[in-house]
Structure 1
Amino acid sequence: MAPFPRIVVPRITGTSVLLRPFEETDVEAVFDASADPAITAVTTVPDVVDPGLAAEWIARQHERASTGPGYSFAIQSDHECVGQIGLWLRDLHHGRATIGYWIRPSRRRRGHAFSALQTLSEWAWSIPELHRLQLHVEPANEASCRTAERAGFEREGLLRSWQAIGDERRDMVVYGLIRPQ
């Protein structure tokens, strides 16, 4: 497999969110996310509120673009970072990419995840090699399942024992979205 090309994280304006590169001032969003075990168990967000670890996490988001495995966007609404959404390109050579996202606990239930997912999905089709987007969601995460379906993703099945989370294997529901014809 060829090395990943260097990519640049653009600014993408959606109907109610802006997807943009992370900034140093987004540390408060990382602190908020650090307090949520549902986020820290499945992402690289540090599981302690620590300014140094938060700054390192933000720096790693920029490295993802500079080393090529994907785009990591801050989700901005009303001039503040409310979460993160990523487009991961590890399988781009197969025509597919995976999306993952989180919304900080204090900013949930306001439509940010839906708007970010819809915005990123529409933008992703500008990548010519891409034909399929997919999401993996824990079955118990009903809000994320509804968000995926509302954004046009179709539930395709249950992946049993798909992912290690902490000390246990967890099932994941796979959702797919195919490039419009």
Structure 2
Amino acid sequence: MEQPLHVPELTAGGFSLRPWRLTDLRLVREASEDDYIPLITTVPSPYSELAAVAFIERQWGRASARTGYPFVVVSPDGRPVGNVGLWLRDLEQGRASLGYWVAESARGQGAAVAAVSAVTDWALSELGIPRLELYVEPWNTGSVRTAERAGFQREGLLRGWQQVGADRRDMFMYALLNGER
């Protein structure tokens, strides 16, 4: 049996990243009340403590199953404010994808750029992944800025690429190749 992935602790721009803990229930609650986060993630909505614990256990399971590295983003004052994940589904083809969200109360403070940059640097240098990808809805200007500030380049529009809620949605594809940073 293969060993689970070790989710390391990373830092960037005053923010830190660490594995999920059961003490992160308040973050799951805030994310569950967001209009968008539960549509694009497995964050439970409506919130219940039982569902929130199951969400956190699913994050642990991703590392155990070797499908990815889920991180909690922690602000400089020690408050959990978001999530970033490095997903390895296509690693055999030389690529991995990142997904991220920040709770509404912490948006506009640089958490997403710091988190994506930290995971990107680590994935490229420590894991040696050849290509990293991000998928962003065209209307999501905050996420577009995050991708671009983290060094990703827009490669194109993928029409009807992803199921979001009840609808198929277009996504911009962003990528960063190892050696471009």
2:73 to 63, 72, 75: 75
Measured in 2, the distance between the counterparts of 1:27 and 1:49 equals 10
Measured after TM superposition, the shift of residue 109 of structure 1 is 0.7
Aligned residues: 178
**Percent of paired sites with the same residue:** 46
After TM superposition, list the pairs within 5 Å mapping 1:23-172 onto structure 2.
Answer: 23-77=21-75, 78-125=77-124, 126-128=126-128, 130-172=129-171
Structure 1: unaligned runs, 5 residues or longer = none
TM-score, with normalisation over the residues of structure 2? 0.95
1:16 to 14, 17, 22: 14
Measured after TM superposition, the shift of residue 4 of structure 1 is 7.7
3-state DSSP of counterpart to 1:109: coil
Measured after TM superposition, the shift of residue 37 of structure 1 is 2.2
Whether contact under 8 Å (1:26, 1:80) holds in the other structure is no
CA deviations 1:19-76 (Å, max 9, x no partner) are 1001111110100000112100010000112111111101110110011100000001
Measured after TM superposition, the shift of residue 15 of structure 1 is 2.5
Whether contact under 8 Å (1:85, 1:102) holds in the other structure is yes
AA in 2 matched with 1:156: E
Structure 2: unaligned runs, 5 residues or longer = none
CA deviations 1:140-159 (Å, max 9, x no partner) are 00010011001100010000
AA in 2 matched with 1:180: G
Structure 2 partner of 1:175: 174
CA deviations 1:54-112 (Å, max 9, x no partner) are 11101110110011100000001121110000000011111100000000111111000
Measured in 1, the distance between the counterparts of 2:168 and 2:96 equals 23
AA in 2 matched with 1:38: Y
Measured after TM superposition, the shift of residue 5 of structure 1 is 6.1
Q: Quickly say closer, same or farther: Cα 1:26–1:139, change in 2 above 3 A.
A: same
Whether contact under 8 Å (1:37, 1:47) holds in the other structure is no
Measured in 2, the distance between the counterparts of 1:115 and 1:13 equals 8
TM-score, with normalisation over the residues of structure 1? 0.95
Measured in 2, the distance between the counterparts of 1:42 and 1:5 equals 29
| Higher deviation after alignment, 152-161 or 49-58 | 49-58
Q: CA RMSD in A?
A: 1.4
